[in-house]
């Protein structure tokens, strides 16, 4: 049956609904099908180009090297670039092809556009895991995401920190001015948090009531302290009488359980409440 299909193989490859690419062992493009026109490229103009030039700068080619070195297929998500630079979420499948002596001849890759799926996934996450009042993630998403970020930090050998804090005298404020005023205050603090953390790097959560937690990725240097200080300074500029933030910063260590990681930050919040130093590392 395959022999009967061979004369039509080029047409099959050209008109498949996925981008089909053949690359050499240095990740240069040898062939790309017509589907790439949908993303603003002329197929022949891509022959000879480095494959990584079609992906966002965050991709460094490490997984391609793994495919070649281990002679093993890998599937993973990538950020594919349209010719105008717009990012398309794609699922990349990379399969090595080798000769009878075990030498890699080339790598066959397909790119399936999953942008619509990622948008739907984002909406589902937002509807399930977003706190409606502050626009931050809720506690249901915290431990799932914290576990993922710790695993990612281990792989990349990056420090992970959390900032935990609450509002001093918030209950008294609620009692004096009512829950509607309290909710407005929480909403304003949510905006401060979202505007103070690094987009696409850090994650803000409403832990419960007037308690908040931020996951700080790539927490080298004093970035966690800088972000905590920035949030507190912006909050104090709102000039709510007798209100302040007590903040604790905890850094992840390999011997820590996630629960103890959070408890460590919480203890520092308590220390900050009893101290003139309102941000405790």
Q: Which residue(s) pair with 88 in the sheet? A: 80
Q: Is 210 a catalytic residue?
A: yes
- Please, which residues have CB within 8 angstroms of residue 69's CB and are 6 or more apart in sequence? none
Tokens, residue 185: 């205050």
Tokens, residue 244: 């302040």
- Contact 158/218 with Cβ under 8 angstroms? yes
Strands (E), 114-251: 161-168, 203-208, 211-216, 244-251
Tell me how crowded residue 143 is: count the other CB atoms within 10 A of its CB: 12
Measured between alpha carbons, how far is 128 from 25 in angstroms, rounded to an integer?
Answer: 43
- Contact 93/110 with Cβ under 8 angstroms? yes
- Contact 271/279 with Cβ under 8 angstroms? no
Q: Are strands 244-251 and 279-280 parallel, antiparallel or unpaired?
A: parallel
Instruction: Kindly name the residue from 113, 131, 210, 266 that is annotated as catalytic.
Output: 210
- Rg, Å, the chain Cα set: 25
Active-site positions?
A: 210
């Amino acid at each position: 049956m395959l022999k009967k299909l061979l004369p039509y193989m080029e047409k099959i490859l050209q008109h498949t609904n996925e981008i089909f690419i053949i690359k050499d062992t240095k990740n240069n493009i040898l062939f790309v099908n017509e589907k790439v026109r949908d993303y603003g490229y002329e197929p022949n103009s891509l022959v000879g180009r480095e494959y990584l030039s079609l992906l966002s700068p965050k991709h460094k080619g490490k997984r391609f090297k793994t495919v070649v070195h281990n002679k093993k297929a890998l599937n993973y998500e990538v950020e594919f670039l349209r010719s105008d630079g717009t990012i398309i979420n794609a699922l990349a499948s990379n399969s090595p092809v080798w000769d009878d002596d075990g030498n890699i001849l080339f790598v066959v890759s397909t790119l399936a556009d999953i942008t619509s799926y990622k948008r739907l996934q984002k909406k589902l996450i937002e509807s399930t895991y977003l706190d409606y009042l502050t626009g931050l993630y809720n506690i249901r998403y915290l431990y799932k995401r914290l576990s993922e970020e710790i695993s990612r930090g281990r792989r990349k050998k990056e420090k992970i920190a959390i900032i935990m804090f609450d509002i001093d005298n918030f209950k008294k404020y609620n009692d004096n001015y009512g829950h509607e005023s309290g909710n407005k205050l929480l909403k304003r603090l949510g905006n401060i948090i979202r505007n103070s953390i690094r987009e696409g790097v850090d994650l803000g959560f409403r832990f419960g009531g007037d308690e908040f937690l931020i996951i700080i990725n790539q927490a080298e240097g004093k970035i966690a302290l800088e972000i905590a200080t920035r949030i507190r300074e912006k909050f104090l500029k709102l000039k709510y009488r007798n209100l302040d933030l007590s903040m604790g910063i905890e850094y992840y260590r390999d011997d820590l359980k996630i629960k103890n990681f959070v408890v460590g930050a919480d203890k520092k919040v308590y220390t900050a409440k009893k101290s003139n130093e309102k941000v405790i590392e």
